[in-house]
């Protein structure tokens, strides 16, 4: 071949190659932008729908803590106060909410307040017992329908029979707005209350605690077992067919659909062992099974990443195998294992299907205080709320998603922190 022709060919090929290089860079950049856009869209939808759930509407209500109506005296003991007739005070307060109300109007007005009104009146009194025999202006939670109307989530211009609030109620709400007797404040109920049929007093506290207990169970069960299994497989087990089979199956187990684990929990834990259903104990056990392979894989990877020279060094000064492994190898593998564990826990946190199988989908209006109490979990709660018809639950589900996202984000942050904090360079 002619030398200059060959050179030309090489140059043109080189141009083509660098062009290809450039193109590939842009493909990658585009792909990244696309995924970023999808993520931003998702977050935007959730936040724009959900942020209103962090606010609730409260109404100013004048309450007369009359001792006769309450059937209490200023000297009443705490137990007696607990039993005070607060529903009668409430009734009076509603009757006097607007001057000169008819009976039917009172009924309508009652529906402007949350179901929790008795308790709020009572709690105010219990906190300030000196208000007995005085009239107090207190802020109480409005009904979800009022809340949704004022937040602009439900529309006024639909026909009356397809509205939650009828025309009379609407006019009262407008009057309240005019008199500045309503306002929006931070929704503390969302973080302190368990699930409820009434959106205005439904919160994530119950399911949050349920998730926390479940994760605790997952951690307690899976972390030691996973470390034990990984250390054995990596450091002690003979390399033969059986261990190879186990290794392959651990990887396979990580890919098993979670619902299968749910079935296992249902069939074995509930039916055979008779553990209480809907409890974090059972949910955690099932999720622990699901998380185990993830942690084992992470732990083994980090055990493998520990340079063998460290173990050799320990053995060479006369450490036994167990000493070498537990004094040197495991501590070095721990950050990686912890990261894997947290990722596994995060996975478990988001898991819904197995929990449905073992009954954690039940409606639980209480905040659980132990592992054996029935409780909900965050993802199941979201599922339940999305299913609900009431308008008020829609924003709640979006808000619950935000809570779970922040929870996940924090767990990942902890994972990153732990990795950076304990990771050794050697």
45/322 with CB nearer other proteins: 322
DSSP state of 235: I
* CA 339/CA 367 separation, integer angstroms: 30
Out of 254, 315, 343, 362, the only residue in the binding site for other proteins (CB under 8 A) is: 315
Kindly state the smallest distance separating residue 243's Cβ from other proteins, in Å: 11
126/310 with CB nearer other proteins: 310
Kindly state the smallest distance separating residue 328's Cβ from other proteins, in Å: 6
244 belongs to the binding site for other proteins (CB under 8 A) = no
309 belongs to the binding site for other proteins (CB under 8 A) = yes
95/235 with CB nearer other proteins: 235
The three-state secondary structure class of 64 is strand
DSSP string, 91-146: HHHHHTSSSS--HHHHHHHHTTB-TTHHHHHHHHHHH-GGGTTSEEEEEEEBPHHH
* CA 217/CA 374 separation, integer angstroms: 14
Kindly state the smallest distance separating residue 318's Cβ from other proteins, in Å: 4
Angle of CA points 364, 369, 371, to nearest 5°: 90
Kindly state the smallest distance separating residue 325's Cβ from other proteins, in Å: 12
Stretch that binds other proteins, among 29-37, 197-205, 255-263, 302-310 (CB under 8 A): 302-310
* CA 249/CA 243 separation, integer angstroms: 10
Out of 129, 267, 313, 365, the only residue in the binding site for other proteins (CB under 8 A) is: 313
Please report, as residue ranges, which positions from 316 to 335 form the binding site for other proteins (by CB under 8 A): 316-320, 323, 327-328, 332
DSSP state of 52: G
Q: Are 290 and 354 in contact (CB under 8 A)?
A: yes
370 belongs to the binding site for other proteins (CB under 8 A) = no
Please report, as residue ranges, which positions from 407 to 426 form the binding site for other proteins (by CB under 8 A): 424-426
Alpha carbon separation from 76 to 66, 80, 130, 348 (Å, rounded): 14, 6, 11, 50
Kindly state the smallest distance separating residue 404's Cβ from other proteins, in Å: 37
Kindly state the smallest distance separating residue 307's Cβ from other proteins, in Å: 7
DSSP string, 314-371: HHHTT--HHHHIIIIIHHHHHHHHHHHHHHHHHHHHT--HHHHHTTTTS---S---ST
281/332 with CB nearer other proteins: 332
Kindly state the smallest distance separating residue 251's Cβ from other proteins, in Å: 22
Closest CA to 172 of 121, 117, 110, 119: 110
Please report, as residue ranges, which positions from 211 to 240 form the binding site for other proteins (by CB under 8 A): 238-239
287/333 with CB nearer other proteins: 333
Binding mask 44-63 for other proteins (x = CB under 8 A): --------------------
List residues near other proteins by CB under 8 A: 238-239, 307, 309-310, 312-320, 323, 327-328, 332, 424-426
């Amino acid at each position: 071949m002619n030398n200059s022709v060959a050179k030309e060919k090489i140059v043109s090929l080189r141009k083509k190659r660098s062009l290809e290089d450039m193109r590939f860079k842009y493909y990658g950049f585009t792909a990244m932008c696309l995924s970023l856009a999808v993520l931003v869209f998702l977050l935007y939808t959730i936040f724009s729908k959900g942020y209103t759930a962090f606010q609730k509407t409260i109404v100013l209500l004048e309450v007369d803590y009359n001792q006769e109506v309450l059937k209490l005296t200023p000297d009443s003991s705490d137990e007696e106060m607990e039993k005070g007739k607060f529903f009668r005070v409430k009734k009076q307060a509603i009757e006097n909410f607007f001057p000169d109300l008819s009976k039917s109007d009172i009924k309508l007005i009652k529906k402007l307040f949350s179901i929790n009104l008795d308790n709020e009146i009572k709690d105010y009194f219990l906190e300030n017992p000196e208000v007995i025999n005085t009239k107090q202006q207190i802020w109480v939670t409005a009904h979800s329908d009022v809340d949704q109307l004022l937040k602009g989530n439900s529309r006024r211009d639909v026909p009356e029979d397809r509205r939650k609030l009828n025309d009379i109620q609407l006019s009262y709400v407008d009057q309240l707005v005019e008199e500045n007797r309503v306002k929006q404040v931070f929704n503390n109920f969302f973080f302190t209350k368990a699930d409820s049929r009434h959106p205005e007093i439904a919160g994530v506290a119950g399911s949050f605690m349920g998730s926390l207990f479940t994760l605790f169970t997952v951690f307690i069960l899976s972390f030691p077992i996973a470390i034990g299994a990984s250390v054995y497989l990596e450091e002690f087990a003979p390399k033969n067919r059986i261990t190879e089979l186990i290794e392959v199956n651990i990887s396979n187990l990580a890919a098993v659909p979670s619902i299968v684990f749910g079935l296992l929990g249902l069939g074995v834990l509930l039916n055979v062992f008779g553990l209480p259903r809907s409890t974090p104990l059972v949910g955690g056990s099932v999720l622990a099974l699901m998380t185990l392979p993830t942690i084992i894989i992470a732990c083994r990877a980090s055990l493998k990443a520990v340079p063998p020279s460290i173990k050799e060094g320990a053995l060479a000064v006369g450490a036994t195998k167990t000493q070498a492994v537990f004094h040197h190898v495991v501590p070095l593998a721990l950050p990686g294992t912890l990261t894997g564990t947290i990722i596994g826990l995060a996975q478990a946190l988001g898991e819904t299907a197995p929990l449905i199988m073992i009954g954690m989908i039940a409606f639980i209006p209480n905040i659980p205080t132990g592992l054996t109490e029935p409780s909900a979990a965050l993802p199941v709660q979201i599922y339940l709320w999305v299913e609900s018809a009431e308008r008020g639950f829609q924003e709640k589900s979006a808000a619950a998603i935000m809570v779970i996202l922040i929870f996940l984000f924090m767990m990942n942050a902890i994972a990153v922190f732990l990795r950076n904090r304990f990771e050794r360079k050697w």
